[in-house]
Structure 1
Amino acid sequence: MFELDVRSRKPIYEQLVERLKELIITEILKTDEQLPSVRTLAQQLTINPNTIQKAYRELEVQGYIYSIKGKGSFVSPASPSPNTEKLSKVKSELIKLLSEAMYLGMSADELYKIIQEVEATVGGGIEDDQN
């Protein structure tokens, strides 16, 4: 499915959360698609099942997946209403990253092209939102 960097300073469960979010956002993992079981993924990645469970719990808290007792974990449908707290946090992080990119010499046109590329691959978002 994917590889994790065991030498990274970032905890393995966080790497797993980020990678699964990326797969969900880019719609490689589709709505209501079942994720691998904790045991199966732990064997594939040769990591502790508790690490997988922690990542799945975090994804569930963030609304990316849902669990059905006895059946497993599944990709959540994109929420029709925006999570304003999460959006606020993402906007704040984005402002920091954009400021740093511009400080390092990236032009607004280059940033806009990146946004267009992301928009073409991601989907979702709120139409006609100018904020």
Structure 2
Amino acid sequence: MIQREKQITFEADEASNLPLWVQLRKRIAYLISSGFFKPGDQLPKIRELAADLSINFNTVNKAYLSLQTDGLVKSVRGKGAFVTDLATQQNDEPADEAEALMDECLHACRNLGLSYDETVSRMHVRAARLKMKEAAPARRPDSNVIVLFPEGEGVAAEKGA
């Protein structure tokens, strides 16, 4: 039996302030979550999709890399990108607990009138601020230099230096 490759339909929203690769990524993520692409299905090859949609190869590649980072697809060298089975991938307790906390946060923000996209954007900013705050103790006074290995810690300490 010959399996025909599923085609991705995509039309860029010129009025959107989202980069083209993000729009494409969102479209493919929707096709995965809606069941159009099922676990194990192969996505179109990057070069073929770029040619079919008349967009730059790097734009499609960036969208695929983002999907891979988020665990929606798995790239197999020389074979292509395949949809992952999120149900079997996320069956450990810490991940389930974290997911429940994220759902609770998303619902609370939604009740405050924020969209999911606005919430994600604000969470990115908040996470960046927390990273900077956590790095502050390792920052040299009156400087932008962050000490990666404070005295007595890190590589030099492990080597006995």
Give the TM-score band, short-chain normalised: 0.5 to 0.7
Of 52, 55, 66, the residue aligned with 1:47 is: 55
Q: Work out whether residues 90 and 96 of structure 2, in 8 Å CA contact, stay in contact via their aligned partners in 1.
A: no
- After TM superposition, the structure 1 = structure 2 runs for residues 6-45 of structure 1, keeping only pairs within 5 Å, are 6-45=14-53
One-letter identity of the residue aligned with 1:93:
L
Bigger Rg, which one:
2
1:50-61 superposed matches below 5 A: 50-61=58-69
1:94 CA drift (Å): 3.4
Question: What's 1:75 paired with?
Answer: 83
Matched length: 101
Q: Give the Cα separation in 2 of the matches to 1:65 and 1:100.
A: 31
1:88-121 CA deviation, whole Å, 9 max, x = no partner? 44543332123318xxxxxxxxxxxxxxxxxxxx
Change (3 A) 1:98 1:44: farther
Between the two structures, name the one with larger relative contact order (CA 8 Å, sep ≥ 6). Answer: 1
1:3 counterpart = 2:26: no
**Root-mean-square deviation (Å):** 2.2
Distance change (3 Å), C-alpha of 1:43 and 1:35: same
| CA 1:7–1:85: 2 relative to 1, 3 Å | farther
* Length-normalised TM-score, structure 1: 0.67
Looking at structure 1, the residues matched to 75 and 62 of structure 2 have their Cα atoms a distance apart, in angstroms, of: 13
Letter in 2 for 1:96: C
Q: Secondary structure at the match of 2:113?
A: helix
Query: In structure 2, what residue type is equivalent to 1:62?
Result: D
Given the two structures, how large is their TM-score scaled by the length of structure 2?
A: 0.55
Residue of structure 1 in register with 2:158 after alignment = none
Give structure 2 stretches of 5+ with no counterpart.
1-8, 115-161
Q: Percent identity?
A: 34
